[in-house]
Amino acid sequence: MRDIFYFLALALMAVLVACDGEEPEPEVNTRPQNVTEYNKVTEGLKDYYAGNEYFAIGTAIEPASLDDPAGVALLKRHFASITAENVMKWSTLQPSEGVFNFGPADRLVDFAGANGMLVFGHTLCWHNQVPDWVFRDGAVPASKELVLQRLETHIITVMTHFKGRIYGWDVVNEAIDDGSGTYKNTIWYQICGADYIYKAFETARAADPDAKLFYNDYSATNATKREKIYNLLVDLKGRGLVDGMGLQGHWNIDAPSDDLITAALNRYKEAGVELRISELDVSIYPSNSDPESEYTSDIALKQAIAYGRFFRIFRTFKDDISGITIWGIADNHTWLDNFPVQGRKNYPLLFDVNLVPKQAYFTVINF
């Protein structure tokens, strides 16, 4: 009997010693590596980047996106948030003074609500897709006071309408200059100076104190522009008017560099705001003068490497980035088909024109 106890004690000690020094088993990556494997599972981007560990992955949609059953299935499988690509802009929401048209945006917000998705509001104040009447007073240009009063009315009416259904708003979009100036010389700036920015944020804060307020811009990794945006964020933050910074992320297969992205994210973080990548797409054309190209295997590989590189950086900022919105669902619908070159087909998204995941998709989910 004593021998048996002695034997059991030795065996137990051996097990304990073995366990102590043992490396944990490496987690087996069961994520699909190709389309065949993808078709056998139901998970999507939102599962691999679950919001509590990483960030809400979203996409930009139009009301027409909801008319295509295959597109809707893809949307539901992969995305945890939506942004209205166009229908929350001023030209849709208030095409004439005092005439509000919430129908198209309501459709998107209702869809999001029914499917447990967050909504990012885009955008309350921008110089594009804003009707001329905002800046006119009959036959003459509107005064600064009138323009600011219209801005206030627009923001209060829109935010009140959507109250409780929007996670955060792009309050002001693209107000910083790309060149040597501080502020972009938009019609807003020409009439109001920088006051329109403060008016927009003050009004938004009062209209819905629970909504997160974002400043949103492109080329936000450019070092010179970055510093100007940083200064604006610090100023707004000091006044309690801003909560987040949206880096649009209209990038391409060559740029921006890891260093520029990392430096920008770190800098905006220093301003004490949450970060979003608000309009990500990766053009296959590094230059405006590149001729139209087929989506070759070489380009697919380069794009996969670029997407992989960008998401690797985003993951290192997972505690700071609250959301990543990809600017479109699939390559069958992208604004880049008409910008900067009208009619030059582009393929900037994670799903191809037939809604099939691209190599870039597999790079993004396999980490």
Catalytic residue among 23, 25, 27, 279: 279
The torsion defined by the Cα of 61, 63, 69 and 72, in degrees rounded to 10, comes to 30
* Residue 129 contacts ligand G3I per CB under 6 A: yes
* Residue 279 contacts ligand G3I per CB under 6 A: yes
Q: Is 174 among the catalytic positions?
A: yes
Which member of 81, 94, 248, 325 binds ligand G3I (CB under 6 A)?
Answer: 248
* Residue 66 contacts ligand G3I per CB under 6 A: no
Q: Give 280: exposed, middle or buried? Use CB within 10 Å, 0-12, 13-18, 19+.
A: buried
Looking at beta carbons, which residue is closest to ligand G3I? Answer: 335
Q: Is 23 among the catalytic positions?
A: no
Secondary structure (3-state) at 141: strand
Nearer to ligand G3I, 241 or 326 (CB): 326
Tokens 């942004």, residue located: 83
* Residue 149 contacts ligand G3I per CB under 6 A: no
Kindly state the smallest distance separating residue 27's Cβ from ligand G3I, in Å.
38
Kindly state the smallest distance separating residue 248's Cβ from ligand G3I, in Å.
5
Nearer to ligand G3I, 309 or 333 (CB): 333
Nearer to ligand G3I, 322 or 325 (CB): 325
Nearest of 217, 220, 321 to residue 276 by alpha carbon: 321
Kindly state the smallest distance separating residue 231's Cβ from ligand G3I, in Å.
21
Nearest of 23, 77, 17, 92 to residue 46 by alpha carbon: 77
* Residue 85 contacts ligand G3I per CB under 6 A: yes
Rounded to whole angstroms, the Cα distance separating 75 from 85 reads 14
Which member of 183, 335, 341, 353 binds ligand G3I (CB under 6 A)?
Answer: 335
Strand stretches in the chain, DSSP E: 56-61, 81-84, 118-125, 136-137, 140-141, 168-173, 212-217, 244-247, 250-252, 274-283, 321-326
Q: How far apart are the first and last CA of the chain?
A: 53
Q: What is the DSSP letter of 332?
A: T
Which residues are tagged catalytic? 174, 279
Q: List interacting residues with ligand G3I (CB under 6 A).
A: 85-86, 128-129, 173, 248, 279, 335
